[in-house]
């Protein structure tokens, strides 16, 4: 576990137990104490794989892409995203569970594509009923980090004996997506031994988006991760080698973050820089979308 502290912010990441790593990227707890002069802090999340988040009622407001800000539910389930999520957060303590694409496929009885670029109330949606006992137990917890972490890992282990019909294929696709040498849908299909049509169907179901967009998103995330680890870096030094030129990168940046690289660089990032550094120290990657998949046993 590792903590990165900022202005009244503490973010701790922890890895799941070994048998859960094919399904879960990390667990993370965020403790926020806002000052009287600045009762609300704001930041932008980059595109991610799905996340389950538990927080006190009214702690956060969120908006995915161009949507209007609205209050996040106590148990917020966010599907895979291909655009930035703007959020405002107040004092409180929250927990998050990051899911790999295989984790969603194995643990959630609904296609990822149905939840792409949106968040829902996990207590109101029956697709997430299996997580309700865990979330209720966390709500009743006394706040001890180690005890809550054990509670989460134990409950996730109970769920992880489920299997996905396409576990091997999903893991293979995920592994190919994080390989920077895979630059086209044809190369991706060839790597995983699938025809393009079958790849398209499985990608939408398990990953939320078509393969072409997934590859484009991964290229962007590799560039963003470099900047998050060293915000003093010039964008030209962070750009992934798959980009033809800086204009190509700027177009992608605007597509995924809704703003130019220079506008993003000028923003305060009270959560995301600290989170990237903390995640890197624990998991070896600065952003969730770059985690390498582990094969399910």
Q: What is the pLDDT of residues 45-98, one digit of tens each?
A: 999 999 999 999 999 999 999 999 999 999 999 999 999 999 999 999 999 999
d(CA 67, CA 29): 26
Looking at residue 286, the DSSP 8-state letter turns out to be: S
Mean pLDDT of 125-137: 98
Angle formed by the axes of helices 185-192 and 167-177, nearest 10°: 140
Instruction: Supply the pLDDT for residue 6.
Output: 43
Instruction: Supply the pLDDT for residue 4.
Output: 45
Among 11, 106, 27, smallest CA distance to 283 is for 27
Instruction: Supply the pLDDT for residue 3.
Output: 43
Structure tokens at 184: 């086209």
| pLDDT at 291 > cutoff 90 | yes
Cα torsion 130, 132, 133, 135: sign: positive
pLDDT bin (cut points 50, 70, 90) of residue 162 is low
| pLDDT at 1 > cutoff 50 | no
Mean pLDDT of 99-115: 96
Task: Give me the residue spans of the domains in the chain.
Answer: 2-164, 167-288
More confident residue, 180 or 164: 180
Instruction: Supply the pLDDT for residue 249.
Output: 94
Superfamily of domain 167-288: Homeodomain-like (1.10.10.60)
More confident residue, 260 or 234: 260
Question: What are the strands, taking DSSP E only, across the chain?
Answer: 2-5, 9-14, 24-32, 41-45, 51-54, 60-64, 70-71, 75-78, 85-89, 92-99, 119-121
Taking phi over 0 as left and psi of -120 to 50 as alpha, with beta for the rest, 258 belongs to left
The CATH classification number of 2-164 equals: 2.60.120.10
Give the least confident one: 47-56, 143-152, 194-203, 223-232.
223-232
Give the mean pLDDT of the chain. Answer: 93
d(CA 280, CA 283): 5
């Amino acid at each position: 576990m590792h903590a990165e502290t900022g202005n009244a912010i503490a973010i701790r990441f922890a890895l799941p137990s070994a048998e859960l790593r094919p399904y879960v990227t990390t667990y993370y707890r965020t403790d926020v104490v806002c000052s009287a002069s600045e009762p609300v802090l704001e930041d932008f999340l980059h595109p991610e794989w799905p996340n389950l988040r538990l927080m006190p009622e009214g702690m956060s407001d969120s908006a995915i892409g161009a949507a209007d800000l609205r209050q996040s539910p106590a148990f917020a389930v966010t599907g895979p995203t291909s655009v930035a999520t703007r959020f405002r957060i107040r004092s409180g303590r929250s927990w998050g569970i990051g899911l790999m694409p295989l984790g969603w496929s194995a643990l959630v009885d609904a296609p990822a594509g149905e939840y792409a670029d949106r968040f829902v109330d996990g207590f109101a949606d029956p697709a997430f009923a299996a997580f309700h006992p865990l979330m209720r137990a966390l709500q009743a917890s006394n706040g001890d980090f180690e005890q809550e972490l054990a509670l989460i890992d134990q409950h996730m282990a109970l769920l992880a004996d489920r299997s996905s019909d396409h576990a091997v294929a999903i893991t293979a696709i995920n592994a190919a997506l994080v390989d920077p040498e895979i630059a086209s849908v044809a190369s991706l299909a060839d790597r995983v031994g699938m025809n393009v049509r079958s790849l398209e169907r499985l990608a939408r179901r398990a990953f939320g988006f078509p393969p072409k967009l997934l590859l484009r998103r991964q290229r962007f995330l590799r560039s963003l991760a470099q900047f998050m680890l060293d915000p003093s870096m010039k964008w030209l030094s962070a750009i992934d080698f798959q980009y033809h030129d800086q204009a190509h990168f700027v177009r992608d940046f605007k597509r995924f973050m809704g703003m130019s690289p220079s506008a993003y660089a000028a923003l305060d990032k009270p959560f995301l820089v600290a989170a990237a550094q903390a995640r890197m120290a624990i998991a070896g990657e600065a952003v969730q979308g770059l985690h390498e998949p582990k094969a399910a046993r």
